[in-house]
């Protein structure tokens, strides 16, 4: 017991009345309006999704309060988005689940099926590389065979116009260590992003990031380089989670993702210190992930779990159009 704690009332507190308590809302308190009752101010947010809820909408949970839709999902029901009944919302995960994932937990969950499918596809492609002689368990890969399987080789894009090479390198890896490290990172970060954004938006962020990384690599890397790896898209997942944490820094989910900044810094240091790593691909993927997240959430003003709509498509197409201009510029200047 600290010296400031007492076991009985203060001698002068017997005459204290209710006027001793502050009944007004402190000036620094973050007051918002209930998402279901906009006419009601509240300082309470759902401990799962972070949306503000009033006293009629809150349900006591083991940690904090939950909104009606999170409670419905917990009971196995469908959740609605913005009053549109019947639309399935992405599963939200608890703080304990978040901690388990970032500490290396590999428990299976129905909310990360797309992530697991991407991991499986990458592993299958690695076995194809191994059989084709393009990659080896400890390295010793063949650049020629990697290019034949779809590696990013700038001359083939600029001269032969094989633009599909801006996508296929995301599924190729040079060694067992390369794919193990990337798939471990994809499983942990991808599972959480998929739970936050849903399958469709997760895939959109993943591929937009991977393409952005490959475009920057094509534009800035040495002309004779051969570049492969899912890390362009994985850096995009990191960037998307970091952007989400900034947009929701006052919520449980945002606070749980504060460590993403440290993860990104550590990986960028490795990128620039270790030879034969394409910093262009990693930086481009990181930028792509941040842009995709902000486009899909309108910098935190839009519910990320809302269905993918025309406005989302338009914003992302604008970004892809910008990437296309970079590709056109590089093609025009490649032989200069």
Q: Which residues are catalytic?
A: 231, 282
Q: Could you tell me which residues come within 8 angstroms of residue 31 by beta carbon, excluding any fewer than 6 positions away?
A: 25, 41, 42, 43
3-state DSSP call for residue 245? helix
Give the separation between CA 264 and CA 257, rounded to whole angstroms: 12
Give the separation between CA 137 and CA 217, rounded to whole angstroms: 25
3-state DSSP call for residue 91? coil
Give the separation between CA 59 and CA 227, rounded to whole angstroms: 51
Strands (E), 1-68: 32-33, 41-42, 59-60, 65-66
Give the separation between CA 38 and CA 112, rounded to whole angstroms: 33
Enumerate the H helices of the chain as residue ranges. 68-74, 95-102, 113-132, 143-149, 154-158, 176-197, 199-220, 231-247, 252-256, 260-273, 279-297, 310-333
Give the separation between CA 147 and CA 130, rounded to whole angstroms: 14
Q: Give the burial class of 270: count Cβ atoms within 10 A of its Cβ; 0-12 exposed, 13-18 middle, 19 or more buried.
A: exposed
């Amino acid at each position: 017991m600290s010296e400031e704690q007492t076991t009985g009332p203060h001698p002068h507190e017997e005459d204290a009345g209710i006027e001793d308590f502050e009944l007004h809302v402190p000036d620094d308190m973050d007051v918002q309006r209930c998402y279901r009752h906009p006419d009601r101010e509240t300082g309470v947010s759902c401990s799962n999704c972070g949306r503000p809820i009033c006293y009629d909408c809150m349900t006591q949970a083991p940690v904090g309060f939950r909104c009606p839709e999170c409670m419905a999902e917990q009971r196995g029901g469908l959740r609605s988005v913005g009053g549109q009944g019947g639309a399935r919302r992405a599963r939200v995960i608890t703080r304990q689940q978040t901690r388990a994932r970032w500490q290396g937990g590999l428990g299976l969950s129905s909310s990360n099926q797309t992530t697991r499918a991407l991991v499986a596809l990458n592993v299958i492609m690695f076995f194809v590389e191994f059989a084709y002689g393009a990659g080896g368990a400890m390295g010793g890969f063949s650049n020629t065979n990697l290019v034949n399987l779809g590696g990013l080789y700038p001359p083939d894009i600029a001269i032969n116009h094989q633009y599909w090479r801006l996508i296929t390198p995301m599924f190729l890896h040079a060694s067992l260590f390369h794919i193990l490290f990337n798939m471990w990172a994809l499983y942990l970060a991808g599972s959480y992003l998929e739970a936050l954004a849903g399958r469709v938006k997760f895939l959109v962020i993943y591929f937009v990031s991977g393409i952005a990384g490959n475009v920057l690599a094509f534009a800035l890397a040495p002309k004779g380089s051969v570049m492969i790896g899912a890390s362009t898209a994985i850096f995009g997942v990191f960037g998307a989670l970091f952007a989400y944490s900034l947009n929701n820094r006052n919520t449980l989910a945002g606070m749980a993702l504060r460590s993403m900044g440290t993860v990104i810094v550590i990986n960028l240091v490795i990128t620039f210190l270790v030879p034969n790593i394409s910093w262009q691909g990693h930086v481009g993927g990181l930028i792509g992930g941040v842009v995709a997240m902000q486009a899909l959430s309108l910098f935190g003003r839009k519910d990320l779990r809302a269905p993918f709509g025309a406005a989302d498509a338009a914003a992302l197409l604008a970004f892809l159009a910008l990437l296309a201009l970079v590709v056109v510029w590089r093609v025009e200047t490649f032989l200069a």
